[in-house]
Chain A
Amino acid sequence: MTEDLIDHLLGLPPDHPVVALRHRRPEARRHAEGAFRELLLPADPGGLSHAERAALALLVAEREGDADLAAQYRAMGPAAADTPRMAALLDYAAKVALAPETTVQADIDALAALGLTPRDIVAATQLIAFVPYQVRMLAGLRALAREKAA
């Protein structure tokens, strides 16, 4: 089977036991990759451009402290535009990623006031919430790989 994003970022040889282990849950592997593609590179991005999506993912990967994942997202888009809209989206991303318990109705309303549709708001939130999934999978799999090497 071909390399997916997680394999690519782990950088392990194809015959490594952790790479093989991931294939024992092939549907999890496939749908995590599918979610990544739907969130970062959807065929119809609606009101949230590919560049905006890459900028949001980059911010979350940086704030979560995963340098390899951040480099991936940095390479997927230009630097975040210096606009009030992008600033509001990045503020939202930081809050959802790092302190989701502190979000309130007004955070959602502020995005709607910027012209984001319900679909755009859900897509942005799904994207921002998916990067923490990737961060924890990568961290856990790296620990497993280091355990195998010990």
Chain B
Amino acid sequence: MSARFTLKPVGWRPRLPPVKAESATPEQLAALDACPPAVRRSTYFLTLAHDPGSLGERGALFNIVMYAEGGLDRADRELATAVVSMVNGCVYCTAVHAKRFVELSGDEPAMQRMLEEGWAAEPDPRRKAIADFTEALTRSPGAVTPAHLAPLRAAGLDDLEMLDLLHGIAMFANANRLMLTLGDPLLPRVM
């Protein structure tokens, strides 16, 4: 895709001073508690905590989209969110979700290839179908037709897996915009 995407840890520096956990209001703390446990004290979520109403609902939505049981395999969700993040140019989100894909699938060479070259030549038909559909819905939602779903069906996705894929793609249309707008990535070489 581009030399700038990486599996190495990328930092994030907010463009607004984040809420301090020790001085957060009860409403802000309750909203943070609705977010995934691993990230609820991160700088990013503490920045979003300025508006607890939206953080609580949106954090709960994010949690269910990424971690709901059954349906689309979690590695496939991470693949889709990494692809959205590459299409949108979010280096931070790409690094996080590409890494999770590698952890869940054990296939680092596949992700490294996608980070460097994209997915036009992806040999795995299921991953190729997921990546192509993800790119289409990310770039041109209004142009998506049942023809775009056909390769996913051919790869074996059922209705619930389709719904989970839509949720993941849509969630990162949201997540990338928040991350790209409210802060700057700190790339490994400058950390």
Instruction: Indicate the size class of the contact surface on chain A.
Output: 35 or more
At the interface, yes or no: B176 with Cβ under 8 Å from chain A? yes
Alpha-carbon distance between A133 and B170 when the two chains are bound, in angstroms: 4
> Residue B184 contacts which of A32, A42, A105 (CB distance < 8 angstroms)?
A105
Contacting residue for A103 out of B16, B167, B180, CB 8 A? B180
B185, chain A: closest CB distance, angstroms: 10
Interface residue SS majority, chain B: helix
Interface: A97 (CB within 8 A):
yes
Binds B, one of A21-29, A73-81, A82-90: A21-29
Give the residue of A35, A39, A122, A135 whose beta carbon is less than 8 angstroms from that of B173: A135
- The chain A residues found within 8 Å of chain B, CB to CB, are 17, 21-22, 24-25, 27-28, 31-32, 34-35, 37-39, 42, 44, 46, 64-66, 96-97, 100-101, 103, 105, 107-108, 117-119, 121-123, 125-130, 132-144, 146-147, 150
- Residues in chain B within 8 A of chain A (CB atoms): 15-17, 47-48, 50-51, 53-58, 60-61, 64-65, 68, 71, 88-90, 137-138, 141-142, 144-146, 148-149, 159-160, 162-167, 169-171, 173-178, 180-182, 184
Q: Which 9 residue pairs of A and B lie closest in terms of their CB atoms, listed nearest first?
A: A139-B141, A129-B177, A140-B166, A34-B57, A31-B61, A147-B146, A101-B89, A132-B173, A136-B170
Beyond contacts A28-B68, A100-B180: 10 other A-B pairs, Cβ-Cβ < 8 A, are: A25-B163, A25-B164, A28-B61, A28-B167, A35-B57, A123-B51, A128-B177, A129-B177, A129-B181, A144-B166
